[in-house]
Structure 1
Amino acid sequence: MLKGNFFRGLGYLGEGFRLIRQPGLRLFVLLPIAINIVLFAVLFYFMAEGFSTLIATAMGWLPDWNWLQSLDWLFWILYGAVILLMLAYGFVIVANLIGSPFYGYLAELTEKHLTGQEVTTEDGWATIVKDIPRALWREVQKILYYLPRAIGLFIIGLVPVVNLVAAVLWFLFNSWMMALQYVDYPADNHRVSFPALRRTLGGSRLSALGFGLPVALAAMVPLLNLVVVPAAVCGATAFWVRENDSNHQ
């Protein structure tokens, strides 16, 4: 039986957008956004160049059946959705790989704000530099978890008829991955291992999917995806604080 509260999970991203406007957090929000703008410009250029090629290649893998060819518009939509999801999470992976030391510290500041502790950034840069190796290793662990599952889903999406549900499976998987991706920052600050985090989120899977779904959708929207990452970090920290409290009640 799935545990958690899907609708409560939906509210955490909105709370994250409110939190990024807090004075003590703004600096460590603006710097990752600046990094994301440069990264998005580069990825958008390559996406515009390669999107049609990716779609044509995916369509070329379909069997040469008349009834399938008559549904090419439907497969264009489905494959387009899957590829956009892959590109969206690809953007998130690269953005988080670059900005992970900032996001870990942003999660720490956010947790202090939410729990009523004093928010100070005096040791901010020293903390960020010190945590770079650990932050990068956590991102590598998430990539290693994501890739084999993403490849498996992509292969499933190439099977005629079965691929009709591929987009739904991708949305569910990406929602789960977005929750894992961002709740990992406050979890890592508490030295919770990545396998332990997966078990923890599995115990409130509906809340996790509720949080991850709007993040996955926002990551697909140009311009909005530039600010959704720091908002998701703050929202995930609120998730960590509130869901841990509810699990222990």
Structure 2
Amino acid sequence: MLKGNFFQGLGCLGEGFRLIRRPGLRLFVIIPIILNIVLFSLLFYFMAQGFSALIAMAMGWLPDWNWLQSLDWLFWLLYGVVILLMMAYGFVIVANLIGSPFYGYLSELTEKELTGQEVSVEGGWGQIVKDIPRALWREVQKIIYYLPRAILLLVLGLVPVVNLVSAVLWFLFNSWMMALQYVDYPADNHRVSFGNLRRMLAARRLSAMGFGLPVALAAMVPVLNLFVVPAAVCGATAYWVRERSGQA
């Protein structure tokens, strides 16, 4: 039986957007947004180049049945959604890999704003530089977790008939990954291992999916997705504080 509160998780991203406007957090929001603009422009260009080739390959695998070939518009739509979901999380992966030291400190500042308590005794730019190796390793762990599952879903998406549900599976997987991606920042600040974090989120999967779903949707919307990353970091920290206090 799934546990958690879906609607409590659902409201955390909105709270994150409110938090990023606070004066004490703005600097660590502006810098990643500038990086995100450059990254998204490059990612959009390369994904658009490969989209037509992927559709042509998938259509070439279909049996030569007139009625099936006439549904090519549906396959364009389904593959378009899958590509959009891949691009959304691909953007998140690259943006977080580069901005992870900023986001870890942004999460610390957010938790202090919410609780009034320091997460660590050190802070500032020195702490950001010191945490770069650990932050990068956490991002690599998430990529290692993500890639084999993403490849499996991508292969299933190329199989006729099965691909009719692949977009739904991709979206559910992306929602889970968004929760795992962003709640990892406050978890890492508290030195909770990535494996333990996965188990904690799985134990209250409804709450996690409630948080991850709007993040996954927002990451698919051009321009909005430039702001969703820092907002999701703040929202995930609010999620962490609420879930931890609820379990205390």
Report the TM-score, using the length of structure 1 for normalisation. Answer: 0.95
Tell me if structure 2 keeps the 8 A contact 1:138–1:194: yes
Residue 161 of structure 2 corresponds to residue 140 of structure 1 = no
Q: Counterpart of 1:83 in 2: which secondary structure?
A: helix
Q: Counterpart of 2:63 in 1: which secondary structure?
A: coil
The structure 1 segments of at least 4 consecutive aligned residues displaced by more than 6 Å after TM superposition are none
After TM superposition, give the deviation of residue 52 of structure 1 in Å: 2.2
1:164 — aligned with what?
164
Say if 1:207 and 1:17 are closer, same or farther in 2 by CA, change over 3 A. same
Aligned partners of 2:153 and 2:51: how far apart in 1?
A: 19
The letter of the residue matching 2:9 is G
Mean Cα deviation higher: 32-41 or 226-235: 32-41
2:45 — aligned with what?
45
Structure 1 unmatched ranges of 5 or more: none
2:127 — aligned with what?
127
Tell me if structure 2 keeps the 8 A contact 1:59–1:76: no
Tell me if structure 2 keeps the 8 A contact 1:215–1:232: yes
Aligned partners of 2:30 and 2:221: how far apart in 1?
A: 19
2:77 — aligned with what?
77
String of CA shifts for 1:116-171, please: whole Å, max 9, x gaps. 2379xx94110110000000000000000000001111111122222111111111
String of CA shifts for 1:171-217, please: whole Å, max 9, x gaps. 10000000000000000001100010000000110111111011111
Aligned partners of 1:197 and 1:123: how far apart in 2?
A: 24
Aligned partners of 1:67 and 1:38: how far apart in 2?
A: 43
| Structural mapping, 1:92-103, within 5 Å | 92-103=92-103
Aligned partners of 2:12 and 2:197: how far apart in 1?
A: 18
Q: Counterpart of 2:192 in 1: which secondary structure?
A: coil
1:213 — aligned with what?
213
Aligned partners of 1:136 and 1:62: how far apart in 2?
A: 41
| Structural mapping, 1:81-92, within 5 Å | 81-92=81-92
Aligned partners of 2:15 and 2:189: how far apart in 1?
A: 20
Tell me if structure 2 keeps the 8 A contact 1:62–1:158: no
The letter of the residue matching 1:58 is A
Aligned partners of 1:158 and 1:48: how far apart in 2?
A: 18
Aligned partners of 2:9 and 2:174: how far apart in 1?
A: 15
The letter of the residue matching 1:62 is L
1:20 — aligned with what?
20
Q: Counterpart of 1:24 in 2: which secondary structure?
A: coil
Aligned partners of 2:172 and 2:92: how far apart in 1?
A: 16
Tell me if structure 2 keeps the 8 A contact 1:58–1:79: no
Tell me if structure 1 keeps the 8 A contact 2:44–2:87: no
Residue 11 of structure 2 corresponds to residue 11 of structure 1 = yes
1:234 — aligned with what?
234
Aligned partners of 1:163 and 1:173: how far apart in 2?
A: 15
After TM superposition, give the deviation of residue 87 of structure 1 in Å: 1.0
Aligned partners of 2:15 and 2:136: how far apart in 1?
A: 26
Report the TM-score, using the length of structure 2 for normalisation. Answer: 0.95
Q: CA RMSD in A?
A: 1.6
Aligned partners of 2:123 and 2:197: how far apart in 1?
A: 27
After TM superposition, give the deviation of residue 99 of structure 1 in Å: 0.2
Mean Cα deviation higher: 105-114 or 40-49: 40-49
Q: Counterpart of 2:11 in 1: which secondary structure?
A: helix
The letter of the residue matching 2:199 is R
Aligned partners of 1:60 and 1:210: how far apart in 2?
A: 38
Aligned partners of 1:63 and 1:137: how far apart in 2?
A: 45
1:62 — aligned with what?
62
Aligned partners of 1:174 and 1:180: how far apart in 2?
A: 10
Aligned partners of 1:64 and 1:180: how far apart in 2?
A: 42
